[in-house]
C-alpha cells in the first residue's frame, strides 16, 4: 500500500483516494445534570493501491444518568484503519465535574485535541439550584447556563459538517432550572449534529441522534422533580471514493459521482482495487 497526506485526485497510477469519517458514540446526559459530550470526530484521506481488509468498530452511545447512577456514561470508541476516536464524555449530575472524552461532558469535562471541544460550566443559584452546562461538540465548546434565576441550561456545542453535507458530533444540552412554580425556562438545545435537548419542567431530556455521535441531553432540575439524562447517539464510520464497486461492507449509497460506504455497526471493510 502507498499513502499520501497530499492527495487531490481520485486515482493516480492505479491508486485510489479514500476519504473517511470516524465518529465515536456520544456521552450520556447527567441525572438532573449536564449534557453529554459528543463522540470524538476525525476525518481525512489516504491513497491505497492494493487490497485492504480491515475491521470497523462503531461505538455505541453512553447511557444517561438515572437515580442511583447519577452521571452519564461515556460513549464507546469507534475505529477504522489506524484512526481511533474516543467516546464522548458523560455529563455529570449537579455540583459534579463532567467526564473527559472525545468531546467533554457538560460541567467542564475536557475534549480531546483534534477530536472535540470542552463541556460548558454549570451556573449556581441559591444553595442548591443549578443550570447545567452543555456538552462539547466537534467544533464548539458547550455553553454555560443562561445566567437567569429561572433559566435553561447551556446549549450543546455544534458538531462539524463532513463531505456529505451532514453535521455530526453535536453536544447535548444541559438541564434547566425551574423553581417556585415558574415554567418559562425552556429546554436547552442540543448542538447541530445530533445533540439531544436538555430537560426542563414539562420536557424530558432527549437522546442523541443515532449514527451521529451526538451527546444526550441533561435532565432538568425543577419543582415537579428531577429527571434522568438522555442517552448518547451511536457513532458512525463512513468511507467515500470516486467511482463505484470497490468496497464491500456497510450501507452503500451514491451521490455526485462518489460511492459512500456507511457503517452504523461494527463490520469489516473490504477494498478491492
Residue ranges per domain, the chain? 1-273
Q: Once rounded to an integer, what is the mean pLDDT over residues 153-172?
A: 97
What span, in angstroms and rounded, lies between the C-alpha atoms of 11 and 143? 43
Span 81-95, mean pLDDT? 95
Rounded CA separation 103/83 (Å): 16
180: left (phi over 0), alpha (psi -120 to 50) or beta: left
Question: What mean pLDDT comes out for the span 60-81?
Answer: 95
pLDDT of residue 177: 83
Tell me what pLDDT residue 9 has: 39
Q: Are 164 and 110 in contact (CB under 8 A)?
A: no
Mean pLDDT of 179-192: 79
Q: Which one has a higher pLDDT value, 269 or 73?
A: 73
Look at residue 149 in the predicted model and tell me its pLDDT.
Answer: 75
User: How far apart, in whole angstroms, are the C-alpha atoms of residue 254 and residue 142?
Assistant: 34
> Using one digit for the tens of pLDDT, what is the confidence trace for 246-263?
788 889 999 999 999 999
C-alpha dihedral sign at 26, 28, 30, 32: positive
pLDDT of residue 3: 33
The whole-chain average pLDDT of the chain stands at 90
> What average pLDDT does the segment 59-80 reach?
96
133 three-class SS? coil
Strands (E) in the chain, as ranges, are: 11-12, 15-23, 41-48, 52-57, 78-80, 83-85, 123-125, 129-131, 160-161, 167-168, 177-178, 221-222, 225-226, 236-242, 247-248, 251-255, 258-263, 267-271
- In this predicted structure, the answer to whether residue 226 has a pLDDT above a threshold of 80 is no
Which of these ranges, 144-153, 179-188, 196-205, has the smallest mean pLDDT?
Answer: 179-188
Q: What is the pLDDT, as a whole number, of residue 11?
A: 44
Can you give the pLDDT at residue 130?
Answer: 83
Please calculate the CA angle 25-175-181 and round it to the nearest 5 degrees.
155
Ramachandran angles phi, psi of 166, nearest 5°: -100, 145
pLDDT above 80: residue 74 = yes
Least confident of 3-7, 113-117, 253-257: 3-7
Residue 2 pLDDT more than 60? no
Q: Over pLDDT 90: what percentage of the chain?
A: 70
Amino acid at each position: 500500500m502507498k499513502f499520501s497526506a497530499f492527495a487531490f485526485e481520485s486515482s493516480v497510477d492505479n491508486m485510489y483516494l479514500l476519504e473517511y469519517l470516524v465518529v465515536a458514540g456520544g456521552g450520556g446526559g447527567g441525572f438532573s445534570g449536564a449534557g453529554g459530550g459528543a463522540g470524538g470526530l476525525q476525518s481525512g484521506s489516504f491513497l491505497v493501491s492494493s487490497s485492504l481488509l480491515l475491521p470497523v468498530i462503531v461505538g455505541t452511545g453512553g447511557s444517561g444518568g438515572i437515580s442511583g447512577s447519577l452521571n452519564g456514561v461515556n460513549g464507546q470508541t469507534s475505529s477504522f484503519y489506524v484512526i481511533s476516536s474516543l467516546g464522548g464524555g458523560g455529563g455529570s449530575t449537579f455540583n459534579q465535574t463532567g467526564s473527559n472524552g472525545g468531546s467533554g461532558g457538560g460541567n467542564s469535562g475536557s475534549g480531546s485535541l483534534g477530536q472535540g471541544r470542552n463541556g460548558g460550566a454549570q451556573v449556581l443559584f441559591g444553595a442548591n439550584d443549578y443550570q447545567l452546562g452543555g456538552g462539547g461538540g466537534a467544533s464548539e465548546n458547550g455553553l454555560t447556563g443562561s445566567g437567569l434565576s429561572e433559566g435553561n441550561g447551556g446549549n450543546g456545542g455544534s458538531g462539524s459538517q463532513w463531505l456529505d453535507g451532514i453535521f455530526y458530533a453535536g453536544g447535548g444540552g444541559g438541564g434547566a432550572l425551574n423553581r417556585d412554580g415558574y415554567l418559562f425556562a425552556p429546554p436547552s438545545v442540543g448542538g447541530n449534529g445530533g445533540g439531544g435537548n436538555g430537560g426542563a419542567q414539562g420536557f424530558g431530556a432527549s437522546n442523541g441522534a443515532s449514527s451521529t455521535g451526538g451527546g444526550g441531553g441533561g435532565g432538568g432540575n425543577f419543582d415537579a422533580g428531577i429527571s434522568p439524562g438522555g442517552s448518547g447517539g451511536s457513532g458512525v464510520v463512513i468511507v467515500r471514493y470516486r467511482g463505484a464497486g470497490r468496497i464491500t461492507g456497510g450501507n452503500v449509497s451514491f451521490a455526485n459521482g462518489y460511492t459512500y460506504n456507511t457503517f452504523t455497526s461494527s463490520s469489516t471493510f473490504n477494498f478491492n482495487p
